[in-house]
Structure 1
Amino acid sequence: MMTRILIVRTSSLGDLVHMLPAITDIARHVAGAQIDWIAEESFAEIPAWHPAVHQVIPVAHRRWRKHWWDARTRQERAALRQRLAERRYDVVLDMQALLKSVWLVRQARGRRHGLDWKSAREPLASLFYDVRHRVEFWQPAIIRQRTLAAAAFGYAVQGPPDFGLQAITADVQVQPVALIMPSASRDDKLWPEDHWRQVFDHLQARGLGLRLLAGNAAEQDRARHLIQGRSQAEVLPRLGLRQVAGHLAQARLMVGLDSGLTHLSAGLGRPTIGIYKASTPVRTPLQGPAYTASLGERGQAPDAGQVMAAIDAALDSARDPVAPAVPAAS
C-alpha cells in the first residue's frame, strides 16, 4: 500500500542537506512511501539527488516576495496552488514551522503535521497543524529533523545519519586537493586573511593542491587575492550545485566557513573542517560519515593552529571512513 507524503522544507542550502537523513529514515520505516518535497527553486536539485524522493515541487518565494503582485508572480503562485490541489497526501509534514512554510502547508491536501508551540521557531505556525509534535529545540539540526519525522510516522531513530548521496559519490576518484570555501554571505563570517594563508601553507606542505570556491565577482576577487603568488592553487569558476558537489566528492578534504556547501561536503562523506565565527555550531554542527570538526563559536573564531590541527587529524584518519566527529570547540 502506498503512503503519499509531502515534505515542506524550502530553504536554505544547508537546511536541505540536514533534511536528507530524515528522508532516508522515512523511506526505510514507512512501507510504500512516495515522497514529494517542496523546495526553493534555487536549491531544488538537492532533494532530487535523494533516490527516495519521487518529485520535487519548486517554489520561488525568494523571488516572488520582491514582486508579489506582478502578473508573472500571480500566475506562478496560481499554478502552484493548482498543482497542490490536484493531489491528496496521507501526511503533509512541515519541517520548518515558519509562517512562510505554513502558507504552503495550508494549500496542500492531507493531514498536516508539524512542531508544537514550544518546539517551533515561530510558535504561531503550530496553530495551523492537525497533529503537533514536541521536539527539543537546542539540539543539532539533523537530529531535530530526524526526530520530527520519526514522531510523525511512529518509528524510532536508529543509527548514524545517511544522506542518500551515494549516486554522487559512487565511483569517484579522490584527488590530492583541498577544497576551500573562504567566502560567506555576510562579512562578519569572514576569517582573517593571514589565518587562511597559514592554513594554505600547511595544506600544501601536506602535498595538497588548493581549489577555492567562489559564487560571485567579489568572492572571485577575494579568492584570487588569497592565493596570489601560489602554485598548485586555483579559483574555480562559478559552478552549478551539481558541479560543486562533484568537486567536493573528489576532494581529499574541505575547509570552509560555516556555509551550506561545507555541510554538503560533510554529507558527501568528505573529511570536512568548518570555521564558525558569527554563528554557533551547537544547532548546526557538521555531521557526516567521515571526519568532521566544527571549530569556533559566535564571536570567537578558531585560530589558524586549531584549524591546522584539525586538518592533520582529518588527513591522518582518512583511511577510516567512520572516524568520529570532533565536537564543537571554541
Structure 2
Amino acid sequence: MRILLVKTSSLGDVVHNLPLVTDLARRVPGATIDWLVEEGFADIPRLHPAVGRIIPVAVRRWRRHLFSAATWHGIAAFRRELRREAYDRVLDSQGLIKSALLGAQARLAPGGQRCGYGREAAREPLAARFYHRGYGIPRNAHAVERNRWLAAAAFDYTPDLPLDYGIAAPPLAADWLPTDRPYAVLLTGTSRADKLWPEDHWQTLMQALTGAGLGLVLPAGSAEERQRATRLAAMVPGALVAPPMAVAQLAGLCAGAALVVGLDTGLTHLAAALGRPTLALFSGSDPSLTGVHAGPGALNLGGAGQPPAPAVVIAAALDLLAS
C-alpha cells in the first residue's frame, strides 16, 4: 500500500503528526508512507525512518508572490512531483480547506481514497467535502491523539499502541556550544505576544539554572526574537544567543540538551518528541489540547491568562534534571 500523509504546517502540528507514522508503520506492514509538507518544515518528517518520499509545498512563499512567473512555474513543478506516484490512500490530518485542496491534487490508484476528519471534526468543515471518507474524531482530545485516532479509523485498526514519535537526531556539534558543562536550551520566542513569559521571570530561571551548573543557549528566529534573546543573555554571565539555524540544526541542538524550557512554540514540541526533559510554559493558551505530549519527561506549566511563577518552573526544572 502506498500512503500519502498531508500535514503541511505549522511546526508544532507537523511534530504532532509523527506518532501517526509510527503507528502506520507497525499496523500496515510493508506500506510506503510519503508526506506532503510545507517546505520550511520538511526537516521534521526526514527525522522519521518510516517516511519515504517527502514532497515539499511552498504555499507560504507562493502566496506572497502570487503573480510572479516563478511562482506558477513552482506550482506546476510541485504538481508534477506530487502526481508522480499513485496512492492507495491520501490521509489529510490537517483538516483545512488548503490541505484538502492539496490532497485532492494527488493521483489515486484504482480504488484509492482520500480520507480526513468529518465535517463535525475538521478545523474547517468545508474541507470534509474533498474526502471520500470523513471520520468523527472527538475535538476535545489532544492533537496527537486525534491524529492517531484518525489514522486508526482510516486504516481500520485499534489505536492501542504506546505513544512513539519515532524520531532521533544526532546532537549538534558546534564550536560555540558549551563544552565544560551540560547546557539548557531556552526557547524564549513565540508567535503571539500573549504567549510570552515576562523577561524578569526568565532572568530568575536563568540564574537558577546557571547555579545548578548548566550552560544556557537561547535560539532565536525573527529579529524581534533575537533582540529579546540578546537582552536576556546579557542579564546572566555565560548565557549565549545561538546563531541562526535551520530546523535540522535546531533539532540537533535540542537533542544534545540536558533540559529544554520553552514557550508554546513548535520547537518546544520538537524537543519533547526527541525525548529531552522539556518544560512548556503557557501564558496565552490552554495546554490540554496542544501542550507537549510525550510522557513524564515533558511537562506543561501554566495556562491561558495564568503564566507559571518562576519558583514553580525552577522546582520543575530541578526535578527533571534530578530524574
Quote how far apart the aligned CAs of 1:316 are.
2.1
State whether structure 2 residue 268 is matched by structure 1 residue 270. no
What is the TM-score when the length of structure 1 is the normalising length? Answer: 0.91
5 Å-filtered alignment, 1:1-330, equals 3-110=1-108, 111-168=113-170, 176-289=182-295, 291-317=297-323
3-state SS, counterpart of residue 57 of structure 1: strand
Quote how far apart the aligned CAs of 1:193 are.
1.2
The CA RMSD over aligned residues, in Å, is 1.9
Deviations 1:252-310 (A, max 9, x none): 11111110000000001000001111221111121225511111112221111221121
Quote how far apart the aligned CAs of 1:150 are.
0.9
Distance in 2 of aligned mates of 1:72 and 1:13: 26
Quote how far apart the aligned CAs of 1:34 are.
0.3
**Alignment: residue pair count:** 314
Deviations 1:10-63 (A, max 9, x none): 001111111001101000110211011000000011111110111100000011
Q: Does the aligned pair in 2 maintain the 1:175–1:252 contact within 8 Å?
A: no
Name stretches of at least 5 consecutive residues in structure 2 with no aligned partner. 173-178
Quote how far apart the aligned CAs of 1:175 are.
5.6
3-state SS, counterpart of residue 160 of structure 1: coil
Q: Does the aligned pair in 1 maintain the 2:142–2:288 contact within 8 Å?
A: yes
Quote how far apart the aligned CAs of 1:157 are.
1.7
Deviations 1:51-101 (A, max 9, x none): 011110000001111222321111111122222333210000011110001
Distance in 2 of aligned mates of 1:89 and 1:29: 18
Distance in 2 of aligned mates of 1:66 and 1:217: 20
The 10-residue stretch of structure 1 (287-296 or 205-214) with the greater mean CA deviation from structure 2? 287-296
Distance in 1 of aligned mates of 2:143 and 2:205: 28
3-state SS, counterpart of residue 282 of structure 1: helix
The 10-residue stretch of structure 1 (295-304 or 111-120) with the greater mean CA deviation from structure 2? 295-304
Q: Does the aligned pair in 2 maintain the 1:48–1:55 contact within 8 Å?
A: no
Q: Does the aligned pair in 2 maintain the 1:174–1:250 contact within 8 Å?
A: no
Distance in 1 of aligned mates of 2:180 and 2:95: 39
3-state SS, counterpart of residue 17 of structure 2: helix
The 10-residue stretch of structure 1 (276-285 or 224-233) with the greater mean CA deviation from structure 2? 224-233
3-state SS, counterpart of residue 166 of structure 1: coil
Provide the residue aligned with 2:175 in structure 1.
none
Q: Does the aligned pair in 2 maintain the 1:267–1:289 contact within 8 Å?
A: no
Deviations 1:177-209 (A, max 9, x none): 111011112222211111111111111121111
Name stretches of at least 5 consecutive residues in structure 1 with no aligned partner. 318-330
Quote how far apart the aligned CAs of 1:158 are.
2.4
